[in-house]
Amino acid sequence: MAETSKIATLVGSLRRGSLNRMAARAIERLAPPSLRFEEIGIGDLPAYNQDREEDPPGAWTEFRDRVRGADAVLFVTPEYNRSVPGLLKNAIDVGSRPYGRSVWSRKPAAVVSVSPGGIGGFGANHHLRQSLVFLDMPVLQQPEAYIGNAAAIFDEAGAVKSEETEKFLRAFAEAFAAWVAIFRS
């Protein structure tokens, strides 16, 4: 039996009824039992300011500890202005500091971008990947996950309406589980 891996899920959308959160939950439901997901909230993290490192806010410390305790990270993000939302970038910055003590280093990761538009957050997905390379996070390469036209994919309860999309999300979750297992061995 495969060892269970703890996955920190970071969702870059705070909106009630977030399509990104629906996608994250769908992946969790469809994932193999070797993955156990825990969403780590990022909406209340104070903006990163190095001057505060002498006495860091409790929210920073809690966030860092929770990410540090995870085996891997799933990023699910919308696209804002061809990039990631500021709150997600702030969480990345908080976790990467203080210098030399990044909570991200060598944690396997996967990126899913979700958009009501047709290109599925392609810009955000690739912009986020640039930061993750610098942070020394090995990122799942295939399958790439750009979830476009997302408003038509989920019902009001967040269930996936399309069998084809459900099949894709299951394959993505299985690939992520295999990716995480490589780094756990």
Tell me how far CA of residue 107 lies from CA of 39, 99, 118, in angstroms.
Answer: 16, 17, 30
* Residue range 101-139, pLDDT digits in tens: 999 999 999 999 999 888 889 999 999 999 999 999 999
Give the contacts of 160 (CB within 8 A, at least 6 positions apart).
Answer: 26, 153, 154, 166, 169
Residues forming a β-bridge with 83: 80
* Residue range 64-87, pLDDT digits in tens: 999 999 999 999 999 999 999 999
Domains of the chain: 5-184 (3.40.50.360)
Chain-centroid distance, C-alpha 148: 17
Whether the full predicted model's pTM is greater than 0.85, yes or no, is yes
- Give the integer Cα–Cα distance in Å for 81 and 147: 17
- Give the integer Cα–Cα distance in Å for 34 and 175: 12
